[in-house]
Chains A and B, each alone.
Chain A
Amino acid sequence: MWGDAWRRLRKNRVAMLCLALVALFTLMAVYGELVYRYHDFKDITPSYQKTHLDLAFQPPSSKHWMGTDGLGRDVMSRLVQGVTIAYKVGIITSLIAIPIGVFFGCIAGFFGGKVDDFVVWLYSTFASMPGLLFILAIAMVVGKGLLGIYLGIGLTTWVGICRLVRGEVIKHKSQTYVQAAQALGLGSGRIIFKHILPNISHVIIVTFTLRFPAAVGTEVFLSFLGIGVQDQPSWGLMINSARMRLWQGMWWEMTFVTLAVFLLVLAFNLLGDALRDALDPRLND
């Protein structure tokens, strides 16, 4: 099945371009994390944190490809660190939100009745709270920084996945193949997670590829507001600092950071779409 999907995906040029972009971003994220860990381990200030006031606001040149910011730090190396943080936020929040949403969606859709009532009540309660307030509340409890962002975004965004999965499971459980599985004597757990779940995996993959850039966007926004990342070079912080000088013609920091956000979001969205088409054996052959 995966071999077939890969063969179909390879035919799609846009998807391959997006895959290359995602791979590039992933490499940057891994590199950024290694650099960060290295400096953390050696207990020295990394170059992207050192201030050189005499080098402030240098336009892009052969030495600093993306110029320098107001404290003379290289924009490109800070941008790479930004990728690391974006990836961490995207992956960890998805790892929190998707299992919760999928689990509750599956049991609610399959068992119906009281279980369904409880899950619907639960996600309606979560959905009725303004997301930003919820994140702020969590940030107040666990303190500002990445942990608050992980928990805040992760615990609020499972609602959408849960609704989608619940609907899909309800649709699938009335199909004959589920009845056939029951007639074979399979238990409910195995039917839900082994037979129905693979049928709705495209929903989960697409949700992930939409969730990921959305989480990155939320993180950028929160850091921009000052309740997110504190001392690391997050894209939100960079945009915040760049906006002050934009009208004076210091275009490079803003341009490159927003371009990075744009490319990341676009690549993930297009790749998600192509993956869904490739993974669904019924769509083409």
Chain B
Amino acid sequence: MIDSKNIIEVKDLRVHFGHGDDRVRAVDGISFSIAHGETLALVGESGSGKSISALSLTKLAPRQATYAGGQILFNNSNMLKLSDRELRKIRGSQISYIFQEPMVSFNPVFTIGWQIEEALKLHRKDLDRKAEIGRLLDLVHLPDRLAAAYPHQMSGGQLQRCMIAMALACSPELLVADEPTTALDVTVQREILNLLKELSEKVGLSTLMITHNLGIVSDLADRVCVMRKGRIVEEGATRQVLDDPQHKYTKHLMAAVPRLKPSAAKKTSPEEIDDEMKRWMPR
């Protein structure tokens, strides 16, 4: 049974690629839960299994992946046990996604409006779609004339806003944002993050935020899970983890954040980094 304050609970999830000796344990027994209205950040380096964990929530991981064990409890059902048809009903309507690169996440031959309409058509049948599209674009601060624009006519920031509008189209309960700002430049990143923050307060969304940017974490997340090599190495409230990291890998991640004034950062000698690398990435 799922705890009533949680919207989703992941228990001992294992996702593997390949078989036998070649098997890669992309996600190796992770557990976390997200409470209603909470923002959880999943932090880690590239290849640590963040994205696969996020995609696994609705079984969207690539076909080669096998779900080797664990449970994903959402609305009292185990997502890993559901049929394709049942999963499709949940995708987009109850759990929706924002992807890393807005420029390629839209179908290039259709207008933005058409693509938002696809989501509406599927999950909300009786509705004035034109008006709803206008309302959604307004929600992400875009003029509704952009509904008639093609993806290649828009900037990355505008497209990411459209992506958010599309993700919110069916008022999902859980939003999974897979590195939503990685492909954008810093000022646009700021706008998008402010927008996400504003929306999660306005709509009361629960969010799973995948990122490797600790700045985003400190701004947006209520709690953090630090992932490395398919495992969660540290978990806790954002302030607690960032102010007083317990695990060496978390410290390592924090030391890697570039700072404007180097003097403010903790000075690390090359030898120390080498030592740390040896300890954490034994060859």
Contacts and interface: CB of A to CB of B under 8 A. Distances in A.
B245 to A, nearest CB: 32
B106 interface: yes
A183 B104 contact: no
Given A179-B99, A195-B107, A198-B109, A186 B60 contact: no
Interface string B113-157: 000001100110000000000000000000000000010110000
Interface string B85-103: 0011111110011011100
B92 A185 contact: yes
A184 B96 contact: yes
Contact of A183 (B60, B89, B107): B60
Interface string A193-208: 0010011010000000
B88 A185 contact: yes
Given A177-B105, A177-B108, A281 B152 contact: yes
Interface in A169-190: 175-177, 179-187
Contacts of A42: none
Band of interface residues on A: 20 to 34
Contacts of A285: 152-153
B280 interface: no
A186 B106 contact: no
A180 B123 contact: no
A170 to B, nearest CB: 13
Nearest to A188: B84
Task: State which size class the interface on B falls in.
Answer: 20 to 34
B159 to A, nearest CB: 11
Given A183-B97, A185-B89, A186-B118, A198 B60 contact: no
A182 B91 contact: yes
A167 B90 CA distance: 31
Contacts of A199: 107-109
Contact of A184 (B87, B101, B110, B166): B166
A44 interface: no
B59 to A, nearest CB: 10
A244 interface: no
Interface in A135-194: 175-177, 179-187
Nearest to B102: A176
B60 A179 contact: yes
B107 A187 contact: no
Interface in A1-24: 1
Interface of B: 58, 60, 63, 87-93, 96-97, 99-101, 104-110, 118-119, 122-123, 150, 152-153, 163, 166
Interface of A: 1, 112, 175-177, 179-187, 195, 198-199, 201, 281-282, 285
